[in-house]
Structure 1
């Protein structure tokens, strides 16, 4: 499959417009290969893991974490330079879908909420808004019902009409417009169209970090902890995870979660985010959460939290997210390219002391 087509597919599932302004969700290393037959998906762009992806024959590697946030000169020894050497010698592409994936509504970043069966879900911290667009143009020909139906069924399209004089009016979410424009180009066989576009005050779509929602019924904390353990450690990952197996050895065996904040007797409203989440603690409890699940909570955030926080680790939340994303990419690409998820390795291990 053409490299630009594969990148378009990735961007449709993790729109770069959703990314935070401090982030680097985009092409990290431009490859030389025009055709993508193998797409590797992984969490971290570590030299060892990237070496495995390229040894498999990946033409393009997609990671969650970027290789860099700010441009770096390839002058200092370390992982950045090692990864550059691997990709430049192989001629392969490296792409990062970071906060562009974290913020996609209903995307794989929200897998935990689905696993817990949360209802009435809402975003914890909106980070970007996208006003709808109203688009007018004079169509080269009249729409048929068969041509109009795919446009009306496109997610984010609110209205579509054509006047007797042939003027077409489309109301669509801003992030849906590129797909709509591509479909219109197909319908009118690539004929030149002059669009007149204006932004509307309403409706406005928003995306953001984390999610809060309600369990079907309140649970005592220990029952909720058992439910969460099943959701976290029961996922079918290639790196076999065994709950409660704490050891000083490496790999995914070393698993535990830490708890901070006041204890909760029962849990009904649950907030969570994949990856780091300390900065979202105030917003999570302002949204009425009884518990907040995340990774990488720092000391002072733990000291000041107004509610119960479970730090289950950055790795396990995002590793599962990327495994699910690889499946979504394969479904989207079909037989045009082979997608393979490469399991990572948590940088943490635990030692049990007397």
Structure 2
């Protein structure tokens, strides 16, 4: 598959429009290869993992964490320069889907909510509201029902119609328009002259984290066991120790838990917003000492790694069917933390 086509598929599943303004969710290293036969997916662009992926023959590597957030000169020894040398020698591409993936509604970042059976979910903190696009064009032929159905069911499409005179009208989410335009060219065999305008309504809100309701209220310990079960299914054994899950707990325990908030990766900054959304518990990673002291409710710090490692494994599972003819492989990472288990 052409590398730009492969990148457009990745972008359709992690729209760059969803990314936070401080982030670097985009191509990190432009390669020289024109085609993608093998695509690797992993959490971190660490030199050993990149060496494994490139040794497998990856033409394109997709990570969650960026190689860099701000441009930097390749003058200092370290992981950045090591990875840059690896990719420049191989001619491969490196792409990052960071907050663009974190904020995709119903995406793999929200796997824990699905594992816990949360309902009536909403973002903890909105990042932005994205307008829709309304597209008009004169179609060269009538669109058949067989062609219209997959178009109307495509991700991001809100409405599709065609008048008796052949004029078509498509309303879609803004970030979906490039993919919809390609679909229309495929249907009609040539690119029509599109008239495109932004709509103030409807808009799509995207943001960090999620808060939702359990099917029924649980005692704290029963919820902890349910969470342990969800995490246990994806957690690796502790280095040199037994299988299991470890987390840190802070804040006052409620009698029961019904409303659950969580986010992948770091989450201490979202503690106030999570409890402002009436959460009974907040699950995240990387909580520091002072935010823990000030937590107004129960917080489980289950670690940065476990939530995002599973997210990227699921993302690889999405990319496989979306990239026909491309071999997609997930490369497992390793948490930088180990745990000493005391008797």
Alignment TM-score > 0.5, same fold? yes
- Post-superposition CA distance 1:81-140 (Å, at most 9, x none): 011111111111111111111111111100000111111111111112111222222223
Asked whether the equivalents of residues 232 and 244 of structure 2 are also in contact (C-alpha less than 8 Å), the reply is: no
Question: Aligned-pair RMSD on alpha carbons?
Answer: 1.9
SS at match of 1:289: coil
Residue number in structure 1 paired with 2:156? 156
Distance verdict in 2 for CA 1:227–1:254, change over 3 Å: closer
Q: Identify unmatched segments of 5+ residues in structure 2.
A: none
Asked whether the equivalents of residues 266 and 286 of structure 2 are also in contact (C-alpha less than 8 Å), the reply is: yes
Q: Following superposition of structure 1 onto structure 2, how do residues 1-354 of structure 1 map, counting pairs within 5 Å?
A: 1-191=1-191, 193-235=192-234, 241-242=236-237, 256-334=246-324, 336-352=325-341
Equivalent residues, number: 343
- Post-superposition CA distance 1:306-337 (Å, at most 9, x none): 11110000001111111111111112224x11
TM-score by length of 2: 0.95
Query: How far 1:254 moved relative to its partner?
Result: 8.6
Query: How far 1:352 moved relative to its partner?
Result: 4.6
CA distance in 2, matches of 1:254, 1:79: 30
Q: Identify unmatched segments of 5+ residues in structure 1.
A: none
CA distance in 2, matches of 1:130, 1:325: 23
Query: How far 1:32 moved relative to its partner?
Result: 1.4
CA distance in 1, matches of 2:143, 2:35: 35
Asked whether the equivalents of residues 254 and 349 of structure 1 are also in contact (C-alpha less than 8 Å), the reply is: no
Query: How far 1:64 moved relative to its partner?
Result: 0.6
TM-score by length of 1: 0.92
SS at match of 2:323: helix
Query: How far 1:41 moved relative to its partner?
Result: 1.0
SS at match of 2:9: helix
SS at match of 1:349: coil
SS at match of 1:147: helix
Query: How far 1:271 moved relative to its partner?
Result: 0.3
Asked whether the equivalents of residues 255 and 350 of structure 1 are also in contact (C-alpha less than 8 Å), the reply is: no
Query: How far 1:255 moved relative to its partner?
Result: 5.0
